[in-house]
Amino acid sequence: MIKIDKQRDGTMSINFHTFYIGDKILLYDVGSGSLHEISETCNALLEGLAKNNDNTDNFLDSLRSQAKKKWSKDDDVTEAFEQLSNLHEQGLLCFYKKSDHVKFNTEKDSKKPLGVKALCLHPAHACNMDCKYCFADGGLFNGQTSYMDTKTAERAVDFLIDQSGARKNLEIDFFGGEPLLNFSVIKETVEYARKQAEKYNKSFKFTLTTNGLALTDEIIDYIINENFAVVMSIDGRKHINDYYRTDLKGNGTYDKILPKFQKLAHALTTYGSQEYYMRGTYTKQNLDFSKDVLHLAELGFKHISVEPVIGDLDSKYSLSSNDLDYITKEYKLIADESSMRSDLNFFHFNIDLEGGPCSIKKITGCGAGFDYLAVDPSGDIFPCHQFVSKNEFYMGNVSKPEQINKDISKRLKSCNILTKDICKTCWARYLCGGGCHANAFNINENLDTPYDVDCAIKKIQFEHALYLKALNN
């Protein structure tokens, strides 16, 4: 695999990425976000260009010089030069100057609202499962069992509205622990948010992440009637799910949750207008995770997301650089299968090269700490659900919104692809947005150095998402 994402000497930087998957050589232009299938000769020209040490500021001159240097009388080279020249002239294959980096203002008026779009609300720091790889310490977040009361939930809604500024469309994601263990507060929160939305000319979207054990027909009806989106946690094949995801007595949960999830997914597809995702986790113990994806697809689930595990580096479940070749093969299997069927929508292959996120989102990524905040059962505020209970990222409490620590928000917003050295020249920067802040902090104890294995897996995902687009075009 050839990766042309190196920083050159002088004033210019390579701004494209070529790679092999199957029998295709693909060219992704970082600046324009365009994707092209190219020939071996085109790829050889570009590879030579990346290694070229001249200091010309002109792309076409550099390309012409490279062509004349090695293959001046070769018809294939002439054709390749013309193809690449045409792409460049159309703005679909570019160099950029270091000085052309976008200037991104992270300063924030302390008196203005943060501009928050979404809250991850934790109705319960408690769980009815005991998953082996749980990053949240069994849903307790290194604390004690606790449940959010109605007053705190209402204050969280008020806080979101107050800090949303001019945003009209807001989101509340019910997370945990297992949020359905406090279903009554979920209902009261939704009812209150609907009333406040009408009062302040806002609109709310609700999402629920659940392990499924507490699902009932009543809750399914409620989810449909209130137009929830749902993330359902299951790890795929029965023996995989039941190894990791057990109840509090150590019993497997697959047979208990599967019929409920099938019923809920059917109802969402038939009657609901929001989408769902089946959300699994793969670890070193189930590197053949393509089988889990296809297993879920065969069960009738269309929207599937299987994520790499988050955990301590010394855990027996954690992934390492030694696993990347295997992981690459698994994503290739999923991409090939996705290209042949319309009933499989794999989350990590959903990238939009034409529309996609706005420039700010491409730069800042997930928005933790300013677009998106988490609120625990006591009303304490953190940048996202993975920072909950980490004292150094405590931002305040919804009961005292005037005391919110906006310095943390500013710090996270200023930690982006324009400030992280490793991101500045990475070909995937506008697709990735700089990686997960929590992973970087947990692994490297700072926000500015992304977790290298996480970066590598994201690049593999993006390459196969681009490959799938090429197959479907």
Tens of pLDDT, residue by residue over 415-440, are: 999 999 999 889 999 999 999 999 99
Give residue limits of the domains in the chain.
Answer: 12-97
Average pLDDT over residues 327-345: 96
Packing angle between helix 59-71 and helix 40-51, nearest 10 degrees?
110
Q: What is the largest CA-CA distance in the chain?
A: 78
The overall average pLDDT reported for the chain is 89
Q: Which residues of 226-235 are buried (b: 16+ CB within 10 A; e: fewer)?
A: bebbbbbbbb
pLDDT (tens digit per residue) in 36-90: 999 998 998 888 777 764 444 567 777 777 777 666 556 788 888 889 889 988 8
SS3 11: coil
Q: What is the pTM of this model?
A: 0.91
pLDDT surpassing 60 at residue 16: yes
Average pLDDT over residues 379-384: 97
Q: Supply the pLDDT for residue 55.
A: 41
Helices and strands counted in the chain (H then E): 16, 17
pLDDT surpassing 60 at residue 29: yes
Cβ neighbors of 109 (< 8 A, separation 6 or more) are none
Cβ atoms of 395 and 405 within 8 Å: the answer is yes
d(CA 35, CA 130): 44
Beta bridge partners of 308: 282
CB atoms within 10 A of CB 349: 20
pLDDT surpassing 60 at residue 292: yes
Q: Supply the pLDDT for residue 424.
A: 87
Beta bridge partners of 26: 19, 37
CA neighbor of 210 nearest in space, from 297, 330, 123: 123
Amino acid letter for position 413: K
d(CA 172, CA 375): 10
pLDDT (tens digit per residue) in 200-256: 999 999 999 999 999 999 999 999 999 999 999 999 999 999 999 999 999 999 999
Cβ atoms of 244 and 273 within 8 Å: the answer is no
Among the residue ranges 6-15, 25-34, 109-118, 175-184, the one predicted with the least confidence is: 6-15
d(CA 390, CA 441): 11
pLDDT (tens digit per residue) in 321-335: 999 999 999 999 999
Query: Can you tell me which residue has the tokens 């190219």?
Result: 38
**What are the residue ranges of helices labelled H in 52-144?**
59-71, 75-89
pLDDT surpassing 60 at residue 8: no
- Local confidence band at 319 (pLDDT 50, 70, 90 cut-offs): very high
d(CA 433, CA 293): 26
Average pLDDT over residues 149-178: 97
SS3 363: helix
Radius of gyration of the chain (CA): 24
Q: Supply the pLDDT for residue 11.
A: 37
SS3 227: coil
DSSP letters of 439-453? HHHHHHSSSSS--HH
Instruction: For the chain, give the percent of residues with pLDDT over 90.
Output: 71
Q: Supply the pLDDT for residue 340.
A: 95
- Local confidence band at 1 (pLDDT 50, 70, 90 cut-offs): very low
d(CA 456, CA 258): 32
CA neighbor of 161 nearest in space, from 411, 408, 398, 365: 398
CB atoms within 10 A of CB 89: 11
Please give the sequence-ordered ranges of beta strands (E in DSSP) within 362-424, or none if there are none.
372-375, 380-382, 396-397
Cβ atoms of 4 and 21 within 8 Å: the answer is no
